[in-house]
Amino acid sequence: LPGHHIDQQAAKAQIGIAASQKVVLFFGYIRKYKGLKLLLEAFQQVSTTMQDVFLIIAGEPKEDLAAYKAFIAEHDLAERVLMDTRYVPLEKMSVYFAAADVVVLPYRRVYQSGLVRLAYAHRRAVIATRVGDLPMVVEHDRSGYLVAPDSVDALRQAMQQALADTKRLQKMGEYGFAQTSKNFSWRAIAEQHQVIYRHVLKRHPEQSR
């Protein structure tokens, strides 16, 4: 991945974030079901007790952003939130992931998401809701945190717990990277397909003729 080797402090400096800031990243298309409103509400609550937190929202909007911008203005979050609402090229994407301490997927519903594996590819832990396939790719307390969907309080608690120990988050990100490399490499995928084929042929030997 282009730029995945960027040092976190260098990435923060490139974006204009103070080195001491703990960074939360929301990445991808902005749609209502992705729960950005929930994240903003939880982040606002976290920011009242943690002064060194920063939120990056990066991705193309597929809905009106007026309500989000109004919330940010109403709660004086402008200096703590960066909104990059455009198509994000690979180079810039990697800078955002490098700057982040944790990637948050506050989805209200989803079937599957490749964003978790993208976070792991950048060695970043995640906070995700228990919807779709997310519980199958996020190991709670090992590669990230799983929370109930549609719960600002659960998301707030997970963010506070995660950001209170960024060294642990780094270990989680490394674990996620290792698991992804192990389970989702092309070799691993080929081996998984071979197991499936053998199972099918054992149950239906006539298909091998």
pLDDT tens-digit map of 100-139: 999 999 999 886 678 998 999 999 999 999 999 899 999 9
Check: pTM over 0.75? Answer yes or no.
yes
Bin 73: left if φ > 0, else alpha if -120 < ψ < 50, else beta. alpha
First to last CA, the chain: 43
What integer pLDDT is reported at residue 179 of this predicted model? 86
For the chain, strand residue ranges (E) read 22-27, 53-58, 81-84, 102-105, 125-129, 144-147
